Amino acid sequence: MSYIPIADQKDEMHDPHSFVAKYVWSMDHKVIAIQYGTIAVGVGLVALVLSALMRLQLGYPDTFAFIDPAEYYQYVTMHGMIMVVYLLTALFLGGFGNYLIPLQIGARDMVFPFLNMLSVWVYLLSVIILMASFFVSGGPTGAGWTLYPPQAITEGTPGADMGIVLMLASLAVFIVAFTMGGLNYVTTVLQARTHGMTLMRMPLSVWGIFVATILGLFAFPALFVSAIMMAFDKLLGTSFFMPAMVSIGETLEHTGGSPVLFQHLFWFFGHPEVYIVALPAFGLVSDVLSCHARKNIFGYRMMVWAIVAIGGLSFIVWAHHMYVSGMNPYFGFFFAFTTLIIAVPTAIKVYNWVLTLWEGNIRLTVPMLFACGFIFTFLHGGLTGIFLGNVTVDLPLSDTYFVIAHFHMVMGVSPVMVLFASIYHWFPKMSGKMFNVTLGKIHFWATFFGTYAIYLPMHYLGFLGVPRRYYSMGTTEFLPESANTLNANITLAAIWVALFQLVFIFNMIWSLWRGKKCDGNPWEATSLEWQTPENPPAHGNWGPELPTVYRWAYEYSVPGVKADFVPQNIAPEDVETTDGKAYIGHED
Amino acid sequence: MSGESLSLSGHAKTVVEDWSSDKQAFNVPWGKFMMWMFLVSDTFIFSCFLVGYMNVRRTTTDPWPYPSEVFALEMFGTSVPLILIAIMTFILITSSGTMALAVRFAHFKDKKKIFLLMAVTAALGASFVGLQAFEWSKLIAEGVRPWTNPFGAPQFGSIFFMVTGFHGLHVSCGVIYLLVIARKILRGDYDKKGDYSIVEITGLYWHFVDLVWVFIFAFFYLW
């Protein structure tokens, strides 16, 4: 007896009936995706408020009495950690990964639905632990999102007592949650595809999420280990990361540890983490661009290999975050080299996006606007990355606002642009309703110009030498008065952008409730999730029969076919062609 | 259990064909694939621990204790180096053997033998953990703590307790896992589908835990 692939097995459907089984303790990947998304957006709003508070202090120092230096550092730290891990990672992989993988590869669910359900609840637990740190004595940790020891666990740093412990615990719990989800995503993609769905026919969304999940499974262990070791240093008095030191006039018990070890472990996680966020964004935006440009994605194979290559390279570039850490300077040469090499596959992707738009029949819908916005912001952030990848250029720019501007453009604004594009793009599928287009467009233009108003001036501040993470600049000789004016303007722009996110939230909630009902494929897209028999898809996704896939997901505007798109699951003889012959399309 | 997943040769399918096919990339049950994936991820965890160990051993300012003295046992009036750890390693490797036999009998769906062999494996695992507890209490009695160590570098105690503790946790989880699966086998939970691949999946985990121990043994006791 040989093993039978999932797609050929008889279906056992256990439809949940009670409200609790359907929407709370649900094992359906779509519900889990929305639970992941809701939690992530909720905690993301906390991060948004924190960033606004931070900007208030920076723009108008000595004005807001309720923000003291300790609180400012706590805002910085929590904003960073929430955005990178609890919002972006969770929303791209837990949210879109869960929603799109089974639907786009033609599976009924993830391979281990129960584990998947555990994943979201453990994720919620990690968020609760993280939020709890706001309420303990001393408040959350203020060590900066990189949590560098010795300062992170040394008396004098905000939250060095309970805050840092809760942060480390929360991260460890998050990693457990991610692993449970991630194993599911990888196994589902490789082992549970439907008839005809080869790897090279998968939409790029799945490719991006798939490779990012593998990165996560290999990179998060380093964070897990460093969190355990730092917790030991803090709670048991070990000295993994703690050298002998004098703090507040007292010689500490610690001796002989290595702070640089933490940095290596942290960035061995931290750099792949950038791509854990970026690769799903690359994938999702490719699908949105191709669909709304009514053109096949340019260079599909190259796009796939670029994702794989970026994923591989991302493991050997980590120390470019550490040029000023005191590591052996010879390492700088190696890591600068690998860092610049990674620009090659990334550039391939950017060219291919632009070439996808080239002579396309572009529909400037709301998702398309955000996707185009992504190309701008990503190109922008990517180019400043080339500056910072070079050791000699990085040294003077390190720890200035230039760095803030760079990574906010490349892994803050850009992925968030894709998040918005994807939420708008798949909202009709998830809810069965259409969002309000006018509000969506207002949201886009306000966000797009707003983020430029925030981050473009920051490059300039960085060149002036304005250091990051300072509570206030005070009076310095090298900073002109105009730097403060610029800072105040950035703050105004930040508050503007933050306020316009309320338009988005309002649009989503209102549309869910009052939006116009739409049919299953409002964008006339080709991939499988738009071809479900019901909208939104029911439990089990496909009704009695799994779909069969005949071609890739980018059959748009092909000559000889009456419609301007051919879904993946339409049999060649059922395609309406001008000459009446069967149409296969791009098979491989 | 499938004969197909057993013999790698004899099938004309090449790797390329598998990967360019639809439905699945590997001809294995998804539980088995998922366990492999988990173990690779877990390998990264242990590798990070070991890299951390090598690093603190280099950065610490105090001398590193001499393992054959620290891990020696007073027996019959003489100090025998590494004797306890040799016994522990022997036990764990033996348990891998009994586990492999359990997997073999899973192919014949011999429930009683599977149960017996898995129970023996679990018992060997439990005795390993027991001996580890003995070793820990001996070191603790001698004054070794995570934060201090009378024989030299305090990092010795920190990393030793952390890594062997983390590994011991894996073994303990494995013992529970083995017992749960063994009971389910005996109860006939897998007879409905006739799919006994869970034994092999459990075995994968168990062999992994053993393999990790070989590295820990080499790095902590022989270096």
Q: Give per-residue pLDDT as tens, B22-62.
A: 888 888 888 999 999 999 999 999 999 999 999 999 999 99
pLDDT band at residue B80 under the 50/70/90 scheme: confident
Q: Give per-residue pLDDT as tens, B84-97.
A: 999 999 999 999 99
Cβ of A112 and B34 within 8 Å? Answer: yes
**In-domain check, residue A424:** yes
Is the predicted pLDDT of residue A74 greater than 50, yes or no?
Answer: yes
Cβ of B55 and A258 within 8 Å? Answer: yes
Q: What is the DSSP letter of B112?
A: H
pLDDT band at residue B1 under the 50/70/90 scheme: very low
Cα–Cα distance list, A426 to A95, A204, A420, A429 (Å): 12, 15, 10, 5
Q: Does B40 touch chain A (CB under 8 A)?
A: yes
Per-residue pLDDT at B6? 47
Task: List CB contacts (< 8 A) between B26 and chain A.
Answer: 190-191
Q: Give per-residue pLDDT as tens, B149-184.
A: 988 899 999 999 999 999 999 999 999 999 999 999
Of residues B2 and A575, more confidence is placed in A575
Per-residue pLDDT at A16? 73
Cβ of A217 and B37 within 8 Å? Answer: yes
Is CATH 1.20.120.80 correct for B15-222? yes
**Lookup: tokens for A485:** 């004016």
**In-domain check, residue A9:** no
Say if residues A304 and A352 touch (Cβ distance below 8 Å): no
Per-residue pLDDT at B191? 86
Q: Determine the residue among A101, A191, A211, A217 to mutate to test chain B binding: the one whose Cβ has the most chain B Cβ atoms within 10 Å.
A: A191
**Lookup: tokens for A458:** 């920051």
The domain total for chain A is: 1
Q: Give per-residue pLDDT as tens, B9-30.
A: 545 567 777 888 888 888 888 8
**In-domain check, residue A95:** yes
Cβ of A255 and B30 within 8 Å? Answer: no
Which range, of A15-19, A22-26, A279-283, A439-443, averages the lowest pLDDT?
A15-19
Q: Tell me the CATH number at A274.
A: 1.20.210.10
Q: Give per-residue pLDDT as tens, A491-536.
A: 999 999 999 999 999 999 999 999 999 999 999 999 999 999 998 9
Per-residue pLDDT at A21? 79
**In-domain check, residue A117:** yes
Which range, of A276-285, A576-585, B129-138, averages the lowest pLDDT?
A576-585
Cβ of B153 and A265 within 8 Å? Answer: no
Which 186-215 residues of chain B touch chain A by CB within 8 A? 194, 197
**In-domain check, residue A585:** no
**In-domain check, residue A587:** no
**Lookup: tokens for A93:** 């992989």
The pair phi, psi for residue A133, each rounded to 5°, is: -65, -15
Of residues A15 and A34, more confidence is placed in A34
Burial A432-442 (b: 16+ CB within 10 A, else e): bbbbbeebbeb
Average pLDDT over residues A330-346: 94
Task: List CB contacts (< 8 A) between B106 and chain A.
Answer: none
Which 81-120 residues of chain B touch chain A by CB within 8 A? none
Domain span at residue A216? 31-243+252-574
**Beta-carbon contacts of residue B93 (< 8 Å; ≥ 6 apart):** B210
Is the predicted pLDDT of residue A148 greater than 80, yes or no?
Answer: yes
Q: Which residues pair with A516 in a beta bridge?
A: A434
Per-residue pLDDT at A328? 86
pLDDT band at residue B104 under the 50/70/90 scheme: very high
**In-domain check, residue A21:** no
Which of left, alpha, beta for A577 (phi over 0: left; psi -120 to 50: alpha)? Answer: beta
**Beta-carbon contacts of residue A430 (< 8 Å; ≥ 6 apart):** A30, A34, A99, A536
Closest-CA residue in chain B for A196?
Answer: B22
For the full predicted model, state whether its pTM sits above 0.90. yes
Task: List CB contacts (< 8 A) between A221 and chain B.
Answer: 41-42, 44-45, 47-48
Instruction: Describe the crossing of helices A300-313 and A259-292 by its angle, rounded to 10 degrees.
Output: 170
Q: List the one residue out of B82, B171, B51 whose CA is nearest residue A265.
A: B51
Burial A509-536 (b: 16+ CB within 10 A, else e): eebeeebeebebbbbebbbbbbbbeebb
Cβ of A253 and B147 within 8 Å? Answer: yes
Which of left, alpha, beta for A2 (phi over 0: left; psi -120 to 50: alpha)? Answer: beta
Per-residue pLDDT at B2? 43
Q: Give per-residue pLDDT as tens, A389-411.
A: 999 999 999 999 999 999 999 99
Average pLDDT over residues A321-344: 92
Per-residue pLDDT at B15? 78
Per-residue pLDDT at A10? 64
Is the predicted pLDDT of residue B7 greater than 70, yes or no?
Answer: no
Q: Give per-residue pLDDT as tens, A30-56.
A: 999 999 999 999 999 999 999 999 999
Averaged confidence pLDDT in chain A:
93
Per-residue pLDDT at A587? 75
> What does chain B come to in residues?
223
What distance in Å separates the CA atoms of residue A243 and residue A230, rounded to the nearest whole number?
13
Domain segments of chain B as ranges: 15-222
Closest-CA residue in chain B for A221?
Answer: B45
Q: List the one residue out of B52, B88, B56 whose CA is nearest residue B171.
A: B88
